Amino acid sequence: MNKKQKKVLIRVIVASVLLILCAVLPTTGYVRFATFMVPYLVIGYDILKKAWKGILNKQVFDENFLMAVATVGAILLGEYPEGVAVMLFYQIGELFQSYAVGKSRRNISELMDIRPDYANIEVDGKLEQVDPDEVEVGTIIVVQPGEKIPIDGVIEEGNTTLNTSALTGESVPRDAREGDEVISGCINMSGLIKVKTTKEFGESTVSKILDLVENSSSKKSRSENFISKFAKYYTPAVCYGALALAILPPLVRMLFLSAAPEWSIWIYRALTFLVISCPCALVISIPLSFFAGIGGASHEGVLVKGSNYLETLSQTKYVVFDKTGTMTQGVFEVAGIHHNTISQEDVLEYAALAECASSHPISKSLQRAYGKLIDRSRVTDIEEISGNGVTAKVDGKNVAAGNAKLMERLGVDYIDCHSVGTIVHVAVDGKYAGHILICDMIKPHAKEAIQALRKSGIKKTIMLTGDSKRIADQVAADLGIDEVYSELLPGDKVSKVEELLDAKTEKEKLAFVGDGINDAPVLSRADIGIAMGALGSDAAIEAADIVLMDDDPLKISKAIHISRKCIHIVYENIYFAIGIKVLFLLLGAIGIANMWMAIFADVGVMILAVLNAIRALFVKNL
């Protein structure tokens, strides 16, 4: 609890004790009135003050005004215990609501802890702490073990392990070494590193994420907008309704029935009507449900830009994926080695050495798979044959590494490979040595992600790619994706998404999932744009509606689960709160519900609705 909440708790306890004492003491008349006024003012002075300010500012109709009128009216009618009790229980409900909001804010606050306080710059052999805003691009900053990386950059010196849990929601640390890019907000866990900054602090990942979260509450869902409009008209309506209830029945009784008007009975019913009608349960619990949902999602490494996007995501029935970088790793890797006359290790070694002078992604993948320091002194006479491959002398032997065209050009009988991917054939001294399969590897959880989406009620999964039909069909079949469209240009992807949008119904929403780097047009065009693998991607954070802060496709189904749970809770609270209010308003109008029942209809319903709302914070493992 914060200081303000503790003060309210103390007031609640003191007022409760005083109320019990006042009820027990055998007082009458003005003495009884004076004794009950003590706990009433202890617990309600701030509500009375807010109500008076509202009247002065011509903003009369709010919950403070309703509580003030109802409790003052009860006291004037001589119902002292009920007047004090209404104010007491209202404050208990407010305290409970304040605590619940604080609890839901803690997940957001944990995310806010990624904001760095300083950056270390080395000056004359000593470290000086400076404000991250003052650090220019290209500056070398020093990050010691246990410190946050303050600004995006590239490691110039040192190796370490990074804790990225504040950004991704994942507890598994990541290794980082010289030449690797690092982003702000990660915690340096082990070694001292020197980082050359590549962005200003205001443009760094941490700043963009913080700005995204801080502004998420400004983008309200239709449910929240409905409640805001509802409260705007509802509160004045019930105030006038209460006034009519207090005046009209006694007048009718007096004028038409020639009976005593019974003013006190109908004024009491009107005051009870006011207490019941207080819209706290709706006004508090609905925004709290969305806030809790966004907080629970951020804890899982899912950043939602506003409750409107959370609402749209819950209605998603079609999920469209980009392939490269989304369902696949976007990095060529050696997937298999088939040897003929020499061992697998020798096939890979000869290929890596022959390709050592090339910067082509295929060559880089061979060198990574080889995993040893390449001794270029072993390689001579390198010749690159465009569209075919390379030839070179390795340890004095003639080595050729390339596609089938190169083998045919050299007159080498090769063994064809039917696997999907890039095939690098290797020949040594004119004899076929084997071939290496290189492909863009499917992400570890991609297949599970598709299965999880199907279980969650997604009607159809679709994949769009610029790759060849053969590769696209193979990947789609391996993952279990329903439809695949291949050999598409970026503009073709937008057109295809528009076709899919036209084919579905209005209530069914379409989500596009991309890596956020070259998918901005499609992310913007879909009903909901989800950027994944977006750690440090400016394009993703700006173009997408939802950002998954790591590259795990399983987070997509988790995000949908969070959104649906949140919306389910919102509608539960709307139906429950309105249903109870209507029932008790009718009971109050006909005199069955008294002030104590009104307390339950107001504070009790609010507490139950708030308890239900904070369930959105908790996300079960799927």
Distance of CA 322 to the CA centre of its chain: 21
> What pLDDT, on the 0 to 100 scale, is given for residue 167?
67
* DSSP one-letter string for 495-523: HHHHHHHHHS-SSSEEEEEE-SSS-HHHH
Selecting among 152, 322, 440, 467, the annotated active-site residue is 322
Distance CA 178, CA 192 (A): 11
Distance CA 24, CA 30 (A): 16
Burial of 158: CB neighbours in 10 Å, binned 0-12, 13-18, 19+:
middle
Q: How confident is the model at residue 565 (pLDDT cuts 50, 70, 90)?
A: very high
Q: How confident is the model at residue 215 (pLDDT cuts 50, 70, 90)?
A: low
Looking at CATH, the fold of the domain delimited by 119-150+152-198 is given as 2.70.150
Q: Is the pLDDT of residue 100 over 90?
A: no
Q: Is the pLDDT of residue 71 over 80?
A: yes
Give pLDDT tens digits for 257-295: 778 888 888 888 888 888 787 777 777 778 878 888 887
What's the token pair of residue 14?
């003191």
What's the token pair of residue 38?
């003590």
> What pLDDT, on the 0 to 100 scale, is given for residue 66?
80
Listed in sequence order, the DSSP H helices in 77-215 are 80-112, 165-168, 205-214
What's the token pair of residue 120?
């270390």
* CATH 3.40.50.1000, the chain: domain bounds: 302-327+443-549
CATH number of 329-441: 3.40.1110.10
Distance CA 296, CA 105 (A): 10
pTM: 0.70
**Residue 61 in 3-state DSSP?**
coil
Of 313 and 421, the structure prediction assigns the larger pLDDT to: 313
- Read off the pLDDT of each residue in 155-163 and give the average, rounded to a whole number: 90
CB distance 296 to 619 below 8 Å: yes
Q: Is the pLDDT of residue 564 over 90?
A: yes
Q: Answer yes or no: 117 catalytic.
A: no
Give pLDDT tens digits for 456-510: 999 999 999 877 788 888 889 999 999 999 888 777 888 999 999 998 888 899 9
CB distance 207 to 167 below 8 Å: no
* CATH 3.40.1110.10, the chain: domain bounds: 329-441
> What pLDDT, on the 0 to 100 scale, is given for residue 106?
58
What phi, psi does 482 have (nearest 5°)? -70, -45
* DSSP one-letter string for 357-425: T--SHHHHHHHHHH-S---GGGEEEEEEETTTEEEEEETTEEEEEE-HHHHHHHT-------SSSEEEE
Give pLDDT tens digits for 387-439: 788 999 999 999 999 988 899 999 999 988 877 778 899 999 999 999 999 88
Q: In the sheet where 140-143 sits, what is the strand order? A: 126-130, 119-123, 140-143, 193-197, 153-157, 181-182
* CATH 2.70.150.10, the chain: domain bounds: 119-150+152-198
> What pLDDT, on the 0 to 100 scale, is given for residue 315?
93
Looking at CATH, the fold of the domain delimited by 302-327+443-549 is given as Rossmann fold (3.40.50)
Distance CA 421, CA 435 (A): 12
Residue 335 is classified by DSSP as E
